[in-house]
Amino acid sequence: MQALAVSSGFCKRSSKLKPAAFFDMLFYTVSQKEEESLSYMVSHLQSEFGIRIKKQSLDERFNEKSELYVKTVLAEVLSEEFSTLYINKILPCFSRILIKDSTKFIVPPSLESHYKGFGGDAQLRSKAGVSIQYEYDLKSGKTKELTIHSGDRNDRADAGETVENIEKGDLIIRDLGYFSTPVLKRCADKEAFFLSRLDGTTNVYDANNELISFKKIYASLQKSEQGMTEKEIPVYIGKQTKVPVRLILQLVPDHIYEKRIRDKTVRSKGQGRGQLTEETKIRSRFNLFVTNAEESQLSTEQIFPLYRLRWQIELHFKSWKSVFKIDSYKKVKEYRYTTFLYVKLLLIIVNLQIVYCVQSAFVQSESDKIKVLSLNKSFKTLKTLFREIHRMFRATYHKAKQASLYIQEKLLDNHWLESKKNKLCLPEILQLIACISK
């Protein structure tokens, strides 16, 4: 901690407020309080470390150097994050299964110069906002990216700027916000793979460079005697950058189609674009997926449940906001806010590692069962066990071992993810993919 404080410029000379004590105070505060008051922090420093410091003096320590300090600590923790490999047998032909998404939320207006707001309707528009880009490997649980950006950062631009981080053998799963044919082409050039929804405006061509008629495909499925609802065809996508892919089409029920049309009509009128085109309407009849993986690597039957795993990242964000309150704020100065935001993210990573570690050690070994700990349940419990977590880091080996066993016992007690009526949960989706693989 001392070395990181010096390298970041947070610690330039000897002070009674040591970097480790400062960080300990931050880490403890974000784990216990939704609003970080100076009075609370001053009291903690005095009771835990015997450090007497005035509120004004402590407030002055929150500056660009404190932000860089905790940001450096977060980077160090991510670089040393261990692999748990708790579902590494799923789809073994891919070295990593990377799921990425972003979450945005409003921050104090005083941060407008630091973090520009994002657009949207009147209720969502903001003067100042934050966008967090998060990517993790489904096979190992390791975090591959966790970065804070201005709220106006575009996901598609992010995809272009981070494409070089993709490695050979990766399988990339993202939502339509990241869709870009040049990025998909670059991914294929790196001998990596992707699974994505097809953007509604992207041109699709056959082997003769003729535009695919979705109207004809819909008619053929409607006329099929076997009542076909799915179809796969090899195509090329993109106008300038043509990328060869497998196009998988899945008919949606009429009530889903009608809802899509209503939503798109409202959105189109709100953007001043008038009536929907016939092409938009006919494409709305399908769920459209594209991938460059071969059938032997990723079968059509595996694609639909696999893409549903992308929603797991939404559950991550939901827990981050409900349990760790990353989107809550009060009016504080800029660097105090950003310092605490980075510490909250670090606390999340530590909690994730604990959950994955417990799961990898105790998940049932039977081939016909896959059990997964509920992140939301585990996060809520771990928030009440901060002193035990702290003891694992700071105490002697014997006491640290006792604390870790206590945490394991708590998490293994009724924290497994359970099935919901008429809805597949993560273990069931994983099991379905595993069964199809066989």
- Give pLDDT, residue 329: 75
- Give pLDDT, residue 424: 63
**Amino acid identity, residue 397?**
Y
Number of Cβ atoms within 10 Å of the Cβ of 126: 21
- Give pLDDT, residue 122: 46
Q: Give the residue ranges of the chain where pLDDT is below 50.
A: 85, 122-123, 365
- Give pLDDT, residue 125: 61
Q: What is the pTM of this model?
A: 0.86
- Per-residue burial over 356-394, b = 16 or more CB atoms within 10 Å of its CB, e = otherwise: bbbbbeebeeeeeebbbbbbbbbbebbeebbebbebbee
- Interval 227-281: pLDDT, tens: 678 899 999 998 888 899 999 999 999 999 999 999 888 888 877 777 888 999 9
- Give pLDDT, residue 101: 94
- Give pLDDT, residue 308: 85
- Give pLDDT, residue 34: 59
- Give pLDDT, residue 432: 65
Tell me the residue ranges of DSSP E strands in 215-362: 230-237, 243-251, 286-291
- Give pLDDT, residue 271: 73
- Give pLDDT, residue 297: 92
Report the greatest alpha carbon distance in the chain.
81
- Give pLDDT, residue 390: 83
Q: How would you classify the pairing of strands 143-150 and 129-137?
A: antiparallel
Sheet containing 204-205: order of strands: 143-150, 129-137, 96-106, 170-174, 193-197, 286-291, 243-251, 230-237, 204-205
* 291 CB-near residues (< 8 Å, 6+ apart): 193, 194, 195, 196, 245, 246, 248, 298, 303
